Amino acid sequence: MSQTVPAIVVIDDDASVRRALQRLLRAAGFVVETFATGREFLDAGEWTEIACLVLDIHLPGMSGFELQEHLAVSGALIPIVFITAHDDATTRERATRAGSVAYLRKPFDQGTLLEAIGKAMREETSGEGSSGEESG
């Protein structure tokens, strides 16, 4: 991933969600890569050019939270927007503790996602911490 346009990575096991988000984000001017699982993403390697990770929480095999923890331990501090169709207080709290930039409940508004990605990119360039904003 050696492009100058910010790369957004979408990880979701639902192919229709991946396609829809890929279309939306490309139309917004981003380079987009999609993966069905956390393992597929990890196997792809290089994470240095990622501006934001849009990450489903409930994935087969490695969950979104497990992937986030793996990346943090590896030193890859990629801003994350967690997305989920399975919303509950425990999950929201865990996403906030994990340092997510935003937590979006499916279905979410396109504008809300673009705002969250913009926030993630601003925080990445300024080095600010995440607030764990909740939307949906």
| Per-residue DSSP letter, 74 | T
Q: Which residue has the higher pLDDT, 101 or 126?
A: 101
CB count in 10 Å sphere of residue 75: 7
Domains and CATH numbers, the chain: 7-135 (3.40.50.2300)
Euclidean distance between CA atoms 10 and 55, whole angstroms: 6
Q: What is residue 76's predicted lDDT score, i.e. its pLDDT?
A: 87
**pTM to 2 decimal places:** 0.87
Structure-token pair, residue 41: 């993403």
Structure-token pair, residue 22: 């890929």
- The whole-chain average pLDDT of the chain stands at 88
Q: What is residue 45's predicted lDDT score, i.e. its pLDDT?
A: 83
Give the pLDDT confidence of 6-45 residue by residue, as tens digits: 799 999 999 999 999 999 999 999 999 999 999 999 999 8
**Rounded alpha-carbon distances, angstroms, from residue 104 to 76, 88, 117:** 22, 12, 11
